[in-house]
């Protein structure tokens, strides 16, 4: 769901997976493979932003049942979007080394030695068939809608559906293969979890949720472009025009820096509501991020220059700590002031 979400790109098949001796796929193999198509590590990052948002909306701790419903519903929605993304992008995934072991494209080995069934270790189809992945993605989305709608509220359900539709139709189908601005616009899908979390608690969406949306929106390009710089050749081989494929490393680094400044400015807009504890943390974390973004730009291409993956990994830590500061400020008895 989030390319911000999209960026971690989990969902790899384990090496050595094999079919049953008679050539059939086991139920365990199918279930595990469908689970991996949801990209669990991306879902974890989405939930990291959802729970602190709920705490801030409540100015405390919402009911445990609402927390569990919202997190589970959000996980189901994200899993739906990610599974449908894998279904639609299976041709790309088969070309890119980074994604070539995903269950929809990675061959599994036949475990039978009899005639007509192949030798041990020979390729014998994939762990998941495209139709199974499509059905799983649709069912996960339907489950998310019903769970959030009946157990939280229908605004939260509609927002979760909007995230799925945006990620699948706007980003995956509409933008990813057509424009270098794909992640700038499409990354908005990864911002919806904060709206879902806020709506689940309050039944509406406020300017505070909008600011949190903006923070993740401007965080996504630096986060993902750093990853795409590392895997530029992969995207080029798949004819996906990610910015690092169509622009020079220097231009990419400048754009990363530009979005980083906007992101940090957006984080500070929340200070009047979240309080000085949050504001102080946001300023320190933002300064840390900007130092690393400047370091990437100024030393890019030098022998001792930082690798883009350094900024990629830092961006995950940054977002996690920033939303931890949101959670702490929401739980302080004086609301951070």
Instruction: Give the pLDDT band (50/70/90) at residue 214.
Output: very high
Q: What is the pLDDT of residue 20?
A: 65
More confident residue, 188 or 19: 188
CB of 216 within 8 A of CB of 188?
Answer: no
Rounded alpha-carbon distances, angstroms, from residue 244 to 15, 225, 228, 296 = 30, 7, 6, 14
User: What value does the mean pLDDT take over residues 242-256?
Assistant: 95
Give per-residue pLDDT as tens, 132-153: 999 999 999 999 999 999 999 9
Instruction: Give the pLDDT band (50/70/90) at residue 25.
Output: confident
Which CATH class for the 27-331 domain? mainly alpha
Closest CA to 193 of 160, 222, 215: 160
The answer on pLDDT for 18 being more than 90 is: no
Give per-residue pLDDT as tens, 199-211: 999 999 999 999 9
Closest CA to 235 of 174, 186, 180, 311: 180
Instruction: Give the pLDDT band (50/70/90) at residue 115.
Output: very low
In angstroms, rounded to a whole number, what is the distance separating the alpha carbons of residues 313 and 108? 31
Q: What is the pLDDT of residue 311?
A: 94
User: What value does the mean pLDDT take over residues 198-226?
Assistant: 97
Give per-residue pLDDT as tens, 56-87: 999 999 999 999 999 999 999 999 999 999 99
- The full length of the chain comes to 337
Task: Count Cβ atoms below 10 Å from residue 62 Cβ, excluding itself.
Answer: 18
Segments of the chain assigned E as strands: 107-109, 123-126
What is the distance, to the nearest Å, from the Cα of residue 315 to the centroid of all Cα atoms in its chain? 13
The 3-state secondary structure of 78-126 reads HHHHHHHHHHHCHHHHHHCHHHCCCCCCCEEECCCCCCCCCCCCCEEEE
Q: Using CB atoms within 10 A of its CB, is residue 279 exposed (0-12), middle (13-18) or buried (19+)?
A: buried
Of all residues in the chain, what percent carry a pLDDT higher than 90? 76
Residue 109 pairs in a beta bridge with 18, 123
Closest CA to 126 of 100, 108, 113: 108
pTM comes to 0.89
Q: What is the pLDDT of residue 130?
A: 95
Instruction: Give the pLDDT band (50/70/90) at residue 334.
Output: confident
């Amino acid at each position: 769901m989030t390319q911000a979400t999209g960026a971690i790109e989990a969902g790899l098949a384990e090496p050595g997976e094999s079919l049953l001796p008679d050539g059939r796929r086991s139920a365990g193999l199918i279930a595990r493979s469908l689970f991996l198509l949801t990209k669990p590590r991306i879902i974890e990052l989405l939930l990291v932003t959802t729970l602190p948002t709920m705490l801030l909306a409540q100015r405390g701790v919402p009911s445990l049942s609402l927390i569990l419903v919202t997190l589970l519903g959000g996980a189901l929605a994200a899993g739906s979007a990610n599974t449908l993304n894998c279904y639609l992008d299976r041709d790309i995934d088969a070309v890119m080394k980074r994604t070539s072991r995903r269950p929809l494209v990675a061959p599994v080995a036949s475990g039978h030695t009899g005639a007509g069934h192949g030798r041990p270790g020979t390729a014998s189809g994939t762990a998941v068939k495209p139709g199974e992945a499509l059905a799983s993605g649709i069912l996960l989305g339907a489950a998310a809608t019903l769970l959030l709608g009946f157990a939280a509220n229908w605004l939260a359900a509609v927002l979760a559906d909007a995230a799925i539709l945006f990620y699948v139709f706007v980003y995956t189908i509409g933008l990813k293969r057509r424009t270098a601005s794909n992640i700038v616009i499409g990354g908005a899908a990864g911002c919806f979890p904060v709206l879902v979390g806020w709506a689940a608690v309050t039944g509406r969406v406020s300017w505070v949720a909008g600011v949190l949306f903006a923070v993740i929106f401007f965080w996504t390009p630096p986060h993902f472009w750093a990853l795409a710089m590392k895997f530029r050749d992969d995207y080029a081989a798949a004819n996906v025009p990610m910015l690092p494929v169509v622009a020079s490393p220097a231009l990419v680094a400048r754009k990363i820096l530009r979005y980083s400044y906007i992101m940090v400015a957006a984080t500070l807009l929340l200070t009047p509501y979240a309080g000085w504890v949050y504001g102080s943390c946001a300023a320190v974390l933002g300064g840390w991020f900007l130092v690393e973004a400047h370091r990437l730009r100024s030393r890019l291409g030098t022998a001792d220059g930082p690798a883009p993956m350094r900024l990629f990994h830092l961006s995950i830590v940054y977002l996690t700590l920033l939303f931890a500061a949101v959670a702490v400020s929401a739980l302080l008895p004086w609301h951070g002031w």
